[in-house]
Amino acid sequence: MAKQFMFDALRHAIDEEMQNDDTVFVLGEDIGHYGGSYKVTKDLHVKYGDLRILDTPIAENSFTGMAIGSAMTGLRPIVEGMNMSFLLLAFNQISNNAGMLRYTSGGNFTIPLVIRGPGGVGRQLGAEHSQRLEAYFQAIPGLKIVACSTPYNAKGLLKSAIRDNNPVILFEHVLLYNLQENIPDYEYLLPLDKAEIVRNGSDVTIITYSRMRYHVIQAVEILVKEEYDPEIIDLISLKPLDISTIIDSVKKTNRVVIVEECMKTGGIAAELIAQINDTCFDQLDAPVVRLSSQDIPTPYNGNLEKATVIHPHQIVDAVRKICMINR
């Protein structure tokens, strides 16, 4: 075991897969000699050369399209978005090409493509650098979507994504890169379609993902002192949702609070609520509570920015209220 930052865990995942498979390569802006904006590809160009760690022009639609074409012809590209918001410029390539080509070609082509990079609300990065795009991409058929939340799952998920024969989007939160955790010395892979039960409990199921995992943990520390017993589920897989794990938890707790950084309208929580109501409505003792970011562009002002996202005290209040229903 060795303690690693999340950015190091991601770099080691890429390094290991590039060493094991010479069809794996990385492309994106400033990923080569500069080492990436968050140092995920630091020094890899020295080991693998400028054709496998490929610096691109500022043209997301072009290099994403090139990556998709290379995936069709047998390579395994990893596209780094300097900021995931910039990949809106490649939305056509991701939706009309990456998501569809395996289907529209009748299975003649596979698209072993990984798209990864930082996103979420940072600290005064401005509206265009603080977007949460998971809900944008969730509606695209043919994609798999995962959101890492720890150095351990970041490495295991990225390695699995690189080996998968379908396009995978890996969301990394801009404020989690400096998290540290002990990482095993041996190789491991994590499934791309499974949630993690972070804490077992019996009173209420709190579903979350990415950075909000830590806001939930802080809230639960307070709730446990008040003799509540929450269960925490980190979704990890945003598409497909691991609805079976969620159903099992709802049958046990009968109450659900969803905490996300995504916007409320059309967010991940909206889809979750629909699926929970479809599959286990009769198990609920109260309506599902949704705690989401406000439907506004993220302000640059620090205090206003802070006010747009969910914080632990709001989670505590929501759990207290929902646990009072039908008691």
Kindly give the pairing relationship between strand 180-183 and strand 2-5: antiparallel
- Say if residues 26 and 80 touch (Cβ distance below 8 Å): yes
Rounded CA-CA distance 276/243 in Å is 8
Q: Token digits for 31? A: 């990923």
- Say if residues 93 and 61 touch (Cβ distance below 8 Å): yes
If we measure between CA atoms, which residue out of 50, 55, 17, 52 comes closest to residue 36?
A: 55
Rounded CA-CA distance 213/198 in Å is 9
Q: Which uninterrupted H or E stretch holds 230? A: strand 230-234
* Residues 37-48: b if buried by 16+ CB within 10 A, e if exposed: bbebbeebbeeb
Kindly tell me the burial class for residue 15, based on how many C-beta atoms sit within 10 Å of its own C-beta (0-12, 13-18, 19 or more). middle
Rounded CA-CA distance 147/167 in Å is 14
- Say if residues 259 and 206 touch (Cβ distance below 8 Å): yes
Find out whether the peptide bond into 118 is cis, omega within 30 degrees of 0.
Answer: no
N-terminal to C-terminal alpha carbon distance within the chain: 45
- How far is CA 126 from its chain centroid? 20
Q: Which amino acids are annotated catalytic? A: 60, 129
- Say if residues 233 and 205 touch (Cβ distance below 8 Å): yes
- How far is CA 109 from its chain centroid? 26
